[in-house]
Chain A
Amino acid sequence: MVDFPVLSLMTFLPIAGVLIILAIRGDEEVVAQNTKHMALYSSLFTFAFALFMYTRFDGTSAEFQFVEQSSWLKPLGINYHMGVDGISIFFVLLSSFLTPICILSAWDVVKTRVKEFMIAFLVLESFMIGTFVALDAVLFYVFFEGVLIPMFLIIGVWGGKRRVYSAYKFFLFTLLGSVLMLVGLLALYSETGTTDIPTLMESNIPIGLQYWLWLAFFASFAVKMPMWPVHTWLPDAHVEAPTAGSVILAGVLLKMGGYGFLRFSLPVFPDASAFFTDFVFWLSVIAIVYTSLVALVQEDMKKLIAYSSVAHMGFVTLGLFTATSQGIEGGIFQMISHGLISGALFLSVGVVYDRLHTREISRYGGIVKNMPKYATVFMILMLGSVGLPGTSGFVGEFLVLLGAFQVDTTIAALAATGVILGAAYMLLLYRRVIFGPRVNDDALSMPDLNARELGLLVPLVLLIIWLGVFPGTVMDKISPSVDKLISNYNERLELNVDPAAGPALIEYEEEGTQ
């Protein structure tokens, strides 16, 4: 434990960076240079704090740690409440780890409005971390939805040709979700009189209401995830987003939905979660099979990886709602692993995009000869993506399937076909881009990875392998919190099945309306 507010520091350090950047004056060149450095330093400091927090984190405890709590909107009982547990800590680490990588990846690539770009990224980082450490539903909502603004700008301003359409689509989908979630939040507050997440987890909400609230929150999380059929914004957003935007989008933003399921749907609405389990299962399985098949026929590298992300997120939702420790831990692990793998994959696409300015798969081919290092890195990432044992991709996928198999063998078997399809589209991509006929001369004259690109990709690759061989590094710290989540979940389910629990429920309702 530490005696200073490390979580607030991490959340607002990037904002401090923004303030300094705003103060930078001079001609454009100098401003751009200084801005980049400032942005990098603030994100690196944030990461350093995150690492520090990680070393001080007690992995044997399921409690929230580094808790900060003070009055915010006092009359309403809405507090500024922050804390991390085993479920959220790795998302904080992931966010703060990927941000400096993104800033570095944009170093020589983003040439227009550099200052604004860096500001957007730092604000984004602040909101991402805020989302994962917030322990008050209102605070969470502000960060969770606030993320949209910088992301929206990053796609809309620094994106590709159809950036306007994509940004609009991104906006429309997420807005729809967030409005419903807001309504749900209001209803939740009126029922329980609190927005404090740990308190909400203890509250027993009437089952009838749970269903509606669950659906309202689900709308928002499902869009963020994204789950089938509200996934179509993602491929477009990815295709148009600049590389750094794609990395953060795939690496962290998609995980917010899953995190939301873990923080709200399962612990606060356990009966509704149990009720809707089959519904989520089928959506997940459809997502896995459907989007894998769609990925198979893509001609655009980024679209292909985007569709593969939807399929991988299908595994996550499947795992989370099995409510088994393998399923949930696998789901969390899958999110972290996918954050690293898909982030690195989008970086890799960025590498060749920077050289050839096209994402068309058929414009490449045979580049293994001139880019052997790139081919090696891309190979390892591809293997991670198809879930080869020894990479982090395997651990998550396998545990999710193991969890699912205990609940429903049919669902598990259908989801497992995604593993076959996943191999098909990734191998096809690799074959067409890296091997394949050597017909495009410009592709064949591309230089191999430079030191900066290697420096960005190698840490990711090493982490992917490390977590594949020693997943305990992450898993051990997740376990206590997940165990607690599951035991609470099961207790609450039993409580409501038990007819003796009836009076207690009514009593509670009376309390709520007082």
Chain B
Amino acid sequence: MELLAVFLPLVAFLIAGLFGKQMGDKGCQFVTCSAVIVAALASISLFFDVAYGGGPAYTTLLADWISSGDFSVKWALRIDTLSVVMMCVINIVSACVHVYSIGYMSHDDAKGRFMAYLSLFTFAMLMLVTSDNLLQLFFGWEGVGLASYLLIGFWNHKETANAAAQKAFIVNRVGDFGLALGMMAIFVIFGSIQFDEIFQQVPEMQQSYFSFLGMEAHALTVIGLLLFIGAIGKSAQLGLHTWLPDAMEGPTPVSALIHAATMVTAGVFLVARMSPLYEYAPDALMVVTVVGATTAFVAATIGLTQFDIKRVIAYSTMSQLGYMFFALGVSAYGAAMFHLMTHAFFKALLFLGAGSVIHAMSDEQDMRKMGGIWKKIPLTYGLMWIGSLALAGIPPFAGFFSKDIVLEAAWADGTWFGHYAYYMGIAAAFMTAFYSWRLLLMTFHGEPRASAKVMSHVHESPGVMLGPLVILAAGALLSGLVFYQGFVGSAGHHGEESHVEEQIEHAEQVLHEEAHEVNEEVSEAIHIRDEGAEVIHAAEDEHGEGEHTVEEFVLSKETFWNDSIQVLAANDTVEAAHNVPKWVKYLPLVVGLLGIGLAYIFYMFRPNAPAVTVTSFKELHTLFYNKWFFDEIYHKLFTRTAFLLGLFFWKYGDKKIIDGYGPDGSASLTNKIAGIMSRFQSGYVYQYAFMMMIAVIGLVSWFVFKGSSTGGTF
């Protein structure tokens, strides 16, 4: 099953990539779409098996990859709740985007190539999430980077697209630099980069230090931070985020799939996957929280001021990723994954909806040139409303559940950075609601600001584009309500338990280490049992009794995650989040509604309000509108410096110094050479050969001399 779910997209990529010409566009579209749809069905079946059915987690070994000395890595597929959740998100959204692309790219002359790239991306992303070691994860990590590079630059006749693609790749490489170093540090500390082997040793390693860049550093913290640098790059967190808005140069389906739903969440996945390690690196988690919370805020401020419809959504994505990260930072991994899942649905919906608008507006992306089209494309309009409601966190849409649990968990963490994250999140939630409705109102309402020619062409998208939107809308509507219990549990008896726990927290902390060890032994035992069960399971399958019997399965977040993420009992903020004060729970909703209301005032009832606000907060607006000047600073600081250094080393280092004092040095020598040069083809080489001869003869005669003088046999 997992082989189908992971490798079908690869097969589709190879077929469409190699035989695209022969099969034609239709053939490519058919092959890639059907492959990904089947893969999506396979993932869903895995999801109900492993996550909702309480089935055992397992790993399928495929082949050896790299082994050198005591370093050994295998190609393998690790199937547990965390990976099947990701597989479902990836394959479902990817299937929607594949089908949608048939319509969206219908005017393009390289449809086959586009579909092939989408499938390649899907495969790489699946390899990333199903990896059972860090290196294969890195393979997927760079693979999705490649696919992203190819797809951002898909319209390679546009220089802006090429520049954006290149920027995305290189900025991501900076992140990968951190991830790679983190991986190496893990190998040095743990002697393996295989997940289970790392996780088993984490508790014993919590006091280990090692020399890093000349300093004695706490190993787990350093590792956590290095891995997080990778996550910052891939998930466009503050510092390495500059590539994401530019990535909007790619076709819109790409933005939906890669730059909203899946690839950019890889960083979140990475931290969640490494949760057993992060749990013992509280300082690293603090950094994750602060960076995430700051990103959520900063990105939202920029989103307020942009006019490109896709860039607004891109900044919104960045901001929402910030939410996921501060959830991770306060150990609410389940909540982060929950928000990741719901966000994938509603953000893909928003992007594809925006694509539908752009399609209708003859490829216009500037919201200042839209307006007054809601009656002409009512279905798109309605779907965008669903997406926006989910994004703004209005019940009963999915975003309400996930964003609330994230914010509650941040508050429940009780630390200064947890509270910082909560308030940043609240501010961002207000802005999110505001810019979402700013987008809706500017795009669909008011006087039409496009040319008459464009307006006359405005049309509803074909069914092949709307169908996927409906599926995503269903996800945006229902996924929060339906999966809440599994991802983050409920305030039922577990809540009471945690209340009791609070009282005995202190005692438990003392007992904790021992408990963990026991836990591990148990989990090892469980592992062995699972292996046994697997064998039995396989045997059963052979006998045609596919259905495996599980003991009474009660859905809770513990049974759902089944140890694929691990939280120390003292850090279980998701549990605590169910018991936060009422005002903490309702504040996000209140500010969301306020934001929507304010947007109505600004863009519906008081059309001159935006201009007035801009002039009265001129400095602030300049800062936001220019994206806090990150691009300009980076350009001066890094890009220009690199080129200047390169020129300097070349012209001065190589030419003036090395060659100047070296081969070109003495003028007389050069002159002499010039003389020899004229005889180049006749004698020069033979001279060299001659010199070699002399050297060999010299060598031999020296040996002879030496041999005779020391009384050798000669």
A residues apposed to B, CB below 8 Å: 73, 75-76, 78, 138, 142, 145-146, 148-149, 152-153, 156-157, 164, 167-169, 171-173, 175, 179, 182, 185-186, 189-190, 229-230, 232-233, 290, 293-298, 324-326, 329-330, 366, 368, 383, 388-390, 394-395, 398-399, 401-402, 405-406, 409-410, 412-413, 416-417, 419-421, 423-424, 427-428, 431, 435-438, 469-472, 475-476, 479, 483, 513-514
Contacts and interface: CB of A to CB of B under 8 A. Distances in A.
Interface in B125-161: 135, 138-139, 142-143, 146, 149, 153, 156-157, 159
B522 interface: no
A17 to B, nearest CB: 20
Interface string B160-201: 001101100110011011001100110110000000000000
Interface stretch (B568-576, B596-604, B685-693): B685-693
A416 B181 contact: yes
Among A189, A398, A514, max chain B CB count under 10 A is at A398
A433 to B, nearest CB: 12
Given A190-B706, A475-B68, A152 B699 contact: no
Contacts of A405: 181, 184-185, 187-188
Interface string B633-652: 00000000011011101100
A329 B680 contact: no
Contacts of A409: 181, 185, 211-213
B704 interface: yes
Contact of A294 (B135, B646, B659): B646
Interface stretch (B59-67, B278-286, B303-311): B59-67
Interface of B: 63-71, 135, 138-139, 142-143, 146, 149, 153, 156-157, 159, 162-163, 165-166, 169-170, 173-174, 176-177, 180-181, 184-185, 187-188, 211-214, 642-643, 645-647, 649-650, 653-655, 658-659, 662-663, 673, 677, 680-681, 684-685, 688-689, 691-692, 695-696, 699-700, 702-704, 706-707, 710, 712-714
Contact of B689 (A149, A173, A479): A149
29 contacts: A78-B703, A156-B684, A168-B663, A168-B677, A169-B663, A186-B699, A186-B702, A233-B663, A290-B653, A293-B642, A294-B646, A294-B653, A329-B68, A329-B69, A388-B146, A389-B139, A389-B142, A394-B142, A402-B71, A405-B187, A410-B214, A419-B173, A419-B176, A420-B170, A424-B642, A427-B170, A428-B166, A431-B166, A472-B67
Nearest to A514: B710
A91 to B, nearest CB: 18
B65 A423 contact: no
A368 B156 contact: yes
Given A182-B695, A297-B643, A366-B157, A390 B143 contact: yes
Given A230-B662, A325-B71, A437-B159, 19 more contacts: A75-B712, A76-B700, A76-B704, A149-B689, A156-B685, A168-B663, A175-B691, A179-B695, A229-B658, A232-B662, A297-B647, A326-B69, A402-B71, A410-B214, A412-B184, A419-B176, A423-B169, A423-B173, A470-B65
A75 B704 contact: yes
Nearest to B70: A325
Among B169, B703, B710, max chain A CB count under 10 A is at B703
B374 to A, nearest CB: 38
A138 B698 CA distance: 12
Contact of A293 (B176, B649, B702): B649
Contacts of A156: 680-681, 684-685
Identify the 10 closest CB pairs spanning chains A and B, nearest first. Answer: A325-B69, A75-B714, A293-B646, A389-B139, A405-B184, A297-B646, A435-B156, A296-B646, A76-B703, A294-B650
Contacts, number: 194
Nearest to B171: A420
A229 B656 CA distance: 12
Contact of A424 (B170, B684, B700): B170
B65 A325 contact: no
Among B138, B662, B677, max chain A CB count under 10 A is at B662
B181 A436 contact: no
Among A171, A233, A402, max chain B CB count under 10 A is at A402
A389 B170 CA distance: 15
Given A409-B211, A412-B184, A475 B703 contact: no
B654 A427 contact: no
**What is the interface of chain A mostly: helix, strand, loop, or mixed?**
helix
B698 to A, nearest CB: 8
A383 B145 CA distance: 11
Contacts of A73: 700, 703
B649 A294 contact: yes
Contact of B180 (A76, A293, A416, A470): A416
B188 A406 contact: yes
Nearest to A229: B658
Contact of B181 (A169, A232, A413): A413
A289 to B, nearest CB: 9
Given A152-B688, A293-B642, A326 B71 contact: yes
A406 B159 CA distance: 42
A232 B138 contact: no
Contacts of B704: 75-76
Contacts of B213: 409-410, 413
A265 B67 CA distance: 25
A295 B642 CA distance: 11
A342 B684 CA distance: 30
A287 B153 CA distance: 31
Contacts of A298: 650
A157 B181 contact: no
Nearest to A420: B173
A424 B187 CA distance: 28
A290 B649 contact: yes
Contacts of A469: 65
